[in-house]
Structure 1
Amino acid sequence: MQPAPAGAQGIDPAAMEAAARQVEPNTTLGAVVFDRVGGGKPLSVNADRQFRSASLVKLMIAIDALDHGASETERDRLVRMLSLSDDDIASSFWVKLGPNLVPRVVKLIGLQHTEAPEMSGRWGEVKITANDLVLVYQYILNQMPPGDRTLVVDALAQAPQHAADEFDQYFGIPDGLDIQWAIKQGWGNNDHTMVLHSTGLVGAGWRYVVILLTEHPLGSGRRTCADSVTAAASVLVGRLPGA
């Protein structure tokens, strides 16, 4: 029997929180690194704390749309929604798929702390956690039909630097880690806080799932907040064997 490949050792959560807060002092961080080969979580910070999803909910929209047999035209639109984080496409699917979209995906995947928004039209207000997002990525890789899995992962791996709204989505994972990635990012604000998130699959064979969720006070500035997520991601450099 061959020995299992060496996995990531424990990553100091305090070091990651300190790195993010050095850039934006009031950052609240929720993070998980999941090793798909070793099966462990070398990093877990506030892993069950709920954050507003912003565009991360587009992963759930894609899963539900594909599970309902999206047409070829719809599949093309899902690729654009994921890679460019296109809000107009997300809104159209949200309306078409209906208010039970989130409960359906929660049941399908077995999510534990994900909740629909209080106001049904505000898809960016879905409440998610780092641990539940690990389950979302595991579902994409392990349980989706091959064609659907390829659509989603390829779209995430081809995300351009600028999203449909021109926001620079190369923060966190793509700027902080010099390794292969397939990302879904999120950014936005409501009347109370800002959120910026960097999530995805990294490394050879998509060995690691990396989830970095952050919340900031209003007025912190999107660029500053994005830089804080990148600083958090940079703590992982050299700590993901086999990536």
Structure 2
Amino acid sequence: MMTLKSARGTVRAGVLTAALAALVCTTATTTSAAFAKSPPPRPAAAQAEVPAGVTAGVAVFDRQTGTFTEQLNTSTQFRSASVVKLLIALDVLWNRSPDALPAADRARIDTMLRGSDDTAASTFWANNGSGAIVDRMVARLGLTDTARPPATHPGYWGYTALSARDTVKIYRHLLDSAPAATRDYLLGDLRQSTRCATDGYDQHFGIAGSFNRPWAVKQGWSGFSSGGCTATTAKAAVTASEPEGAAPAPAGADAVDLSRPALHTTGVVGTGDRSIVAVFTLHPGGTSYGKAYTDIGRLTRSLNVPGASRPAGTWIGTWGSGVRVRTQATTTSGAMTTLPAGVEVLVGCQKRGQQVSQPPYLNDWWAHLPQYGGYMTNIYLSSPENQVPGVPVC
């Protein structure tokens, strides 16, 4: 068998064979990404490791001790993207039981929180006072860094200003102060976060990729054109709701950056929802979704999160666009999803399966991705060998 070289510049676009066409839906592109074993648990004095070029605001709160284990730029305001959907949902349920909601509103909250649905959020935003929703929740929860969207973009709920420390306050209210019915209902939705959001973006980055369940997450993204999961992911244009995948408006004089691509992961982690985690990030213009996904994953994995359980496996970079995860180690088995281009994946083990051809290279080794429950061909792992060194055989 011919040896697969590193993906660094060795494969040209347009040379896919018929067998490979069943696996990859768009022209392959190359990326260089190292692979490494999952890091050991961090000591109590851990410091967030922010990848180069990334601007981050981070807060990790240990509910058991009542202390922060990580704090970095906690008051910095970021545009919230879909994290504001937490406030939208809490506003709908303020002084109301979930059981009292019309069936249509319950369905909207479910899809808004599980699949990060923009249409549902826009309906609540329009019907319940738009920016007044944010004003009400600021007063109710005592938020200090949260503000409605700028006057230039009043209908863009995704431009709500939010900080890491205010996000911790939101989750603390939900966990410790909200009525039990509200807490259980909203956290239940966040625990059922779908891998693919309703706009086709893979939303299991950050917390969801870094830690084993139990967790509950609300993610946010803005300024990217493609996010994996499906072949058609991006919406055509910016609307009043600021779709998560659409390009944001140019930054102006406002304090909140509306220009750079944003990717945020927030939620609770561990038995008894021990830790609250809020990670807000901005990335250089033009950053791909896969690169941002990888960077926020590395940042989140560097954090000291009490009570968190970390998945076993080896993190390895990938290359290519539209690489599919399949139910078995063959190109003819069912496609479960596609990976964001160039994303880093957790590999649990590897096994021999159908041979895949990328002239002049051949590879019959396949990687099992436990977080997806499926397989991808090793030909798209950024490893110089067909069989990845150090990864066990399934």
Instruction: State whether TM-score is above 0.5.
Output: yes
SS at match of 1:223: helix
Separation (CA, whole Å) in 2 of partners of 1:95 and 1:240: 37
Separation (CA, whole Å) in 2 of partners of 1:72 and 1:145: 19
Matching of residues 104-119 of structure 1 within 5 Å? 104-118=136-150, 119=153
- 1:86 maps to which of 111, 117, 120: 117
| Cα RMSD, aligned residues only | 1.4
Deviation at 1:12, TM superposition (A): 1.3
Deviation at 1:68, TM superposition (A): 5.5
TM value normalised by structure 2: 0.56
Which residue of the partner structure matches residue 273 of structure 2? 206
Amino acid at match of 2:168: V
- Check the 8 A contact 2:81/2:221 in 1, yes or no: yes
2:153 is the alignment partner of 1:149: no
Separation (CA, whole Å) in 1 of partners of 2:115 and 2:201: 10
Separation (CA, whole Å) in 1 of partners of 2:164 and 2:125: 22
- Check the 8 A contact 1:29/1:213 in 2, yes or no: yes
- 1:52 maps to which of 63, 79, 83: 79
- Gapped runs of 5+ residues in structure 1? 1-7
Amino acid at match of 1:72: P
Deviation at 1:111, TM superposition (A): 0.2
For residues 182-225 of structure 1, what are the alpha-carbon distances to aligned partners after superposition, in whole Å with 9 as ceiling and x for unaligned?
Answer: 00000002132110001100000000001110011221111111
SS at match of 2:172: helix
- Check the 8 A contact 1:117/1:123 in 2, yes or no: yes
Deviation at 1:62, TM superposition (A): 0.2
Separation (CA, whole Å) in 1 of partners of 2:45 and 2:185: 33
SS at match of 1:92: helix
SS at match of 2:195: coil
Separation (CA, whole Å) in 1 of partners of 2:167 and 2:213: 20
Deviation at 1:40, TM superposition (A): 0.5
Matching of residues 37-186 of structure 1 within 5 Å? 37-67=64-94, 69=96, 71-73=101-103, 74-98=105-129, 99-118=131-150, 119-186=153-220
Structure with larger Rg? 2
Separation (CA, whole Å) in 2 of partners of 1:219 and 1:29: 17
Which residue of the partner structure matches residue 193 of structure 1? 260
Separation (CA, whole Å) in 2 of partners of 1:10 and 1:40: 13
Quick check: 91-100 or 200-209, which moved more? 91-100
**Hey, which bits of structure 1, 4+ residues long, moved more than 6 A?**
none
2:46 is the alignment partner of 1:11: yes
Deviation at 1:10, TM superposition (A): 2.5
TM value normalised by structure 1: 0.89
| Count of residue pairs the alignment pairs up | 226
| Identical-pair percentage | 37
Q: Which has the higher contact order (CA 8 A, sep 6+)?
A: 1
- Gapped runs of 5+ residues in structure 2? 1-42, 224-247, 251-258, 309-394
Amino acid at match of 1:139: H
SS at match of 1:89: helix
- Check the 8 A contact 1:79/1:151 in 2, yes or no: no
- Check the 8 A contact 1:30/1:49 in 2, yes or no: yes
